[in-house]
Structure 1
């Protein structure tokens, strides 16, 4: 049986709302690589037919269940369908790469097959190639996808035994097999679940009280409507760029803020300038939904996230004051969840998403206020450089999910001393998306000027 939290991503998907997550990795060709290196790599990947169970999962519809999907295994997986080779048109700039990724990210995954694809992309300028992967949100969330990528690469450039994510290398020590829990363990687990459910009542009261008391927790009527909070189409536009982590840390240290606070402040400044340029900045501050991972240990697969609603203080002209307001909003959001179980956090995090469910009703987005203006995620990534059979990974950029009434998504990941921003938007509803990259740099530079 598929968990309800995963099944909902299949139930809510339509042609206008593809619900898969993706990633773009850029590699530098290893020394001595020939002109057909990427083609040879593609042919070599097709020999890895030992597919792990996660990548054999195929969804089966909600028949005989209360609207819940189930997983079945595909024992005849067509690897050539899932692993594809593409080439960029000349001159093979980053612009052409992002345009190709935008098109690939807008197409639905085939539900008659396991819900993932891997595209090798050759012809990128400056002796590089790229890999774009995507998997349905029912199969993986962003955190587990990044962990899977990290496990499948190597920190050693001389390591030529790297296997692809769907066929990972076997550990020298086999992990212990899972056994059925003892009766007392089952009773303890059941008692814990009962405590979680009983505790939801006071937690909901606490949530509503805070929502009324603080704008940063936002009831729906507190969030202004923007150009992002409109109906969307299935076509996507993607923009990406990295910034040195040292710059962000320096600003955070000077302001007494976290790296994530500074990331949010960068986004806030960029969104403010973007909306000012469009003549569409609302008087009230924008509100971001900021996911927090509830994943425990090294588990891969499924979804485990909570949600903090944070003011972006876009009504403030002073960037330092804006950062202070954002840091305080995030502090209150984290304090609110302190002492709660993952189940309680997940249940409360679903409250702001209720308007997204309502948005599936035709015309609802045009008349109902949003619970928040956009999602901004920060997913920790590998701290050391990684290699794929000698090719150094130079960048890893998340490609995420816009929702109906949420036409823009900003996801950030860290990698080897850099913060990599991935901006995914509805192609029709978010014009000149790449301008946000310029505004992100301007926003960071202004914070540096004010605080350093």
Structure 2
């Protein structure tokens, strides 16, 4: 049995029917010229023929005898690809609306813990000839950056490449040299030592952040209609924007691309809440994940920090909102990036720890939210990518929602576009698709504000 990290174990322990804790992605593909009606079926068959399965895709949770908590990973040596890789067809008329309805249902279903924690669904029947692949994997196994890495490895940059690879295929070795793995007791000792050393360093970091860096801290956020207990059903929405539009605003304002993305989301959330007579006087606060992974880290596991960002939704002027967001992200990321990775993760747990309290029944109503919404920008691909010769024209991340956090906004880049994936509690976030319209309006307002 391979021991889990504390973060990975927490993702499994906190999961329930109302809180599925997997992450996913909906990818749209345009078949190559001349592809016949059997193209999607043949692509699905090619996936099933990828029988060499990487260790990450063989893992399933395991516990000590008599214990209910999962503390380690066991290896499944007989993975049933027919179960994990499925083919579906959309009902007529085969619009994107039907695709998102199917995605919403698939994204709400829990993964089977008696099997490796992943699924891939090949979906045909879109009336414009495109097809989709929806994939999901438990957050205990991957974070957003490692999920995108797996996607990049499975797709080709050459549309004529016929060497088919699946996401679960082992990646080529980066180095012929192999390092001996530490034994189980050594790994356990190292894990306990690192966890034991976090408490005093975390207290020092909190004091430094409060007194010197003015870090945005939890429990300073207003309660909104988004910060309620969630049900088990989900609604997904997705849309792409031209990357050049966002870059032009970035260059004109002298801020980062992620600052503009956050400002887009701030304007959209302000308008959406105002439509529902639910806009608070105090500004919303977003939790923004920050990758702590480096190029030498293996794919898998969770190496993510987080900062809290003031979205300035109390301000009417989009330029003023952008200025506040830029300053908030600059100051808060400065604290995180100056720390060793272990301490950066410790500080992130300090900021996000209050969100875990919401898994305790009833606490959502009596404790203030640590933040209002999660907005995550995961680096994507810069050039076109192909699956069996079909070009990927959209890649929409689908993340998770929790009690007290009924809406999640995650995006990534695909060649020349930014692809937004929104996931909301079906009961608590009505008319989720309207947020997409507000995102477009918010971007137009930013363009005018910077003189474009």
Fold agreement, TM-score > 0.5: yes
Structure 2 match to 1:287: 285
What SS does structure 1 have at the residue aligned with 2:28? strand
What SS does structure 1 have at the residue aligned with 2:298? coil
Structure 1 match to 2:410: 411
| Alignment deviations for residues 74-99 of structure 1 (CA, whole Å, 9 cap, x no partner) | 11211100000000111111111111
> 1:197, 1:344 within 8 Å by CA — same for their partners in 2?
no
Structure 2 match to 1:237: 235
C-alpha distance in 2 between matches for 1:175 and 1:133: 31
What SS does structure 1 have at the residue aligned with 2:380? coil
The structural deviation recorded for 1:33 is: 1.3
TM-score by length of 1: 0.93
C-alpha distance in 2 between matches for 1:209 and 1:116: 44
Structure 1 match to 2:90: 88
The structural deviation recorded for 1:337 is: 2.0
The structural deviation recorded for 1:379 is: 0.4
C-alpha distance in 2 between matches for 1:268 and 1:63: 49
| Alignment deviations for residues 132-164 of structure 1 (CA, whole Å, 9 cap, x no partner) | 000000011111010010011110000010210
Structure 2 match to 1:178: 179
Structure 2 match to 1:134: 136
| Structure 1 stretches of 4+ moved >6 Å | 194-197
C-alpha distance in 1 between matches for 2:245 and 2:298: 32
What SS does structure 2 have at the residue aligned with 1:381? strand
Counterpart pick for 2:209 among 200, 207, 210: 207
C-alpha distance in 2 between matches for 1:42 and 1:121: 9
> 1:163, 1:169 within 8 Å by CA — same for their partners in 2?
no
C-alpha distance in 2 between matches for 1:175 and 1:142: 28
C-alpha distance in 1 between matches for 2:274 and 2:63: 46
Structure 2 match to 1:47: 49
The structural deviation recorded for 1:40 is: 1.7
The structural deviation recorded for 1:199 is: 3.9
Gaps of 5+ in 2: none
The more displaced of 407-416 and 290-299 is 290-299
What SS does structure 1 have at the residue aligned with 2:308? strand
What SS does structure 2 have at the residue aligned with 1:380? strand
C-alpha distance in 2 between matches for 1:351 and 1:13: 20
The structural deviation recorded for 1:377 is: 0.4
The structural deviation recorded for 1:64 is: 7.1
The structural deviation recorded for 1:167 is: 1.5
Counterpart pick for 2:225 among 224, 227, 231: 227
C-alpha distance in 2 between matches for 1:426 and 1:61: 31
1:252 aligns with 2:269: no
TM-score by length of 2: 0.93
Q: Cα RMSD (Å) of the superposition? A: 2.2
CA spacing shift, 1:162–1:280, aligned 2, 3 Å: same
What SS does structure 1 have at the residue aligned with 2:91? coil
What SS does structure 1 have at the residue aligned with 2:239? strand
Structure 1 match to 2:307: 308
